[in-house]
Structure formats: structure tokens, C-alpha cells
Chain A
Amino acid sequence: DAKTTQPTSMDCAEGRAANLPCNHSTISGNEYVYWYRQIHSQGPQYIIHGLKNNETNEMASLIITEDRKSSTLILPHATLRDTAVYYCIVRARFSNSGYALNFGKGTSLLVTP
């Protein structure tokens, strides 16, 4: 699996957009970019994933650069409940050996009033 690099921490004002970057310069052609988050003491929660096109769902948007070496998760209107650790994970979508997620240390996002 390709390695990812994320900032250790970020702040965002409530109501503003939170833009969380992720570098994955060694990503291969069949690997997807996944984002999960973990609110304190809870199990990780899936947010979104994409291959090369930008993706949007009810939680967030995912912007992937044309060369696929980096991506940005966008929370359009951050709320206090979005305070969490956000993990960017690169992985092939299906595998006969399982689909284990390689969690790094992620980005700790603090949304402030």
C-alpha cells in the first residue's frame, strides 16, 4: 500500500470549510484514496473514497489531483461535532487477502466556536 503524509493537526472555525490535505506520491493505478475519521473514544467512521475523479457525498467532498499524488478532504461547513482525527488511507479496493486498512496517525482537526 502507498504511504500517506498528513499534517499532525489543524484548526477550523465553526461554519467555515475545513480542507484536510493528504500526500500519497507513490500511489499506484489500482489504489483508491479513502478517508475515515475517529471521534474521541469511538470506532472509526467511513467518510468517502475515490479513484481519480472528485467525489461528493452528504458528509464531504474529495478532491484528487490529476496526477493522483495528493488529495484534499473538504468538510464544507464544519461543526463542533466534526472535531476528530481524520485518516487518509490508500488501498486497493478488493483483495483476496482481505481489506485491512493501514491507519497512520492522521490529522487531528479541532473545530472552534
Chain B
Amino acid sequence: NAGVTQTPKFRVLKTGQSMTLLCAQDMNHEYMYWYRQDPGMGLRLIHYSVGEGTTAKGEVPDGYNVSRLKKQNFLLGLESAAPSQTSVYFCASSYPLRGETDTQYFGPGTRLTVL
């Protein structure tokens, strides 16, 4: 199993450009999450999803949109990138339908710089 994978690993954008970050998991998890981490800070939740076709706002949702069209994928979109969105973005998943563990598994992160 690959676990949680994120694409791309690095990206540089100019202010106003748009992009989509892709998160994929092969663990049949129901819940998926997008976090951002700024230098010297803990992770903050952007959006999350408790199942295919459903999404909800987290702590810092402004400027981002998400979609969960397939259970294994969770997309994070930036429609008009701003320098304040320069950050490291982590995707995570949890809650398998079967089994007892509710551990949250994280991807390796995407480093985004907005100039």
C-alpha cells in the first residue's frame, strides 16, 4: 500500500494563478483532511470530508475549495493564489469502515510558494 500520496511535491505560483493539489489514499478510509502548516506553527485544518461527495469547512477555509468525487481522492483548489497561501499543505485520512484503529495518516506534503 502506498498510504497517502500528494501531488505535486513542490509548486511555485504567481499571485492570481490557480492550481489544484491532489491527495490520494489506498486504505479505504472514509474521512480525509487538508491542513496547512506555516513556518514555526502547528497544522491548521482547511477543509475536511466525511465521505464521498461531502465536504465541510475547517478552521481556515477562506481562499480554498475542495472536492471529493471519489472516495480515494480529495482535491484542494486555489482559485486565485495569494502570497498568504504560501505554506506546506498536508493531506490526511482516517476511519476505515472496518477495523478498530482511528489513526490519522498523513501524506508527505506539498510545498507551495506564491510570489
Q: A72: shortest Cβ distance to chain B, in Å? A: 20
Question: A16-24, A60-68, A75-83, A89-97: which lies at the B interface?
Answer: A89-97
How far, in whole Å, are A96 and B54 apart by their CA atoms in the complex?
Answer: 12
The size class of the interface chain A forms with chain B is 20 to 34
Which chain A residues lie closer than 8 Å to B4 at the CB level? 43
For A105, list chain B residues within 8 Å (CB).
Answer: 41-42
CB-contacts of B31-83 with A (<8 A): 31, 33, 35, 41-45, 48-50, 56, 58
State A53–B109 Cα separation when bound (angstroms). 33
Within 8 A of B (CB), among A1-48: 36, 41-46
Q: Would you call B31 and A99 a contact (CB within 8 A)?
A: yes
Instruction: Report if A100-B48 is in contact (Cβ < 8 Å); known contacts: A43-B107, A44-B43.
Output: yes
| B102 interface residue per 8 A CB criterion | yes
Q: Does A101 contact B (CB under 8 A)?
A: yes
> Which B-chain residue is minimally distant from A96 (CB atoms)?
B50
Within 8 A of B (CB), among A83-113: 87, 93-94, 96-101, 103-106
Residues of A participating in the B interface, judged by any CB pair closer than 8 Å: 36, 41-46, 49, 87, 93-94, 96-101, 103-106
25 contacts between A and B (CB under 8 A): A41-B109, A42-B109, A43-B4, A43-B90, A43-B106, A43-B107, A44-B43, A44-B90, A44-B92, A46-B103, A46-B104, A46-B105, A97-B56, A98-B31, A98-B50, A99-B31, A99-B94, A99-B95, A100-B45, A100-B48, A100-B58, A101-B43, A103-B35, A103-B42, A103-B44
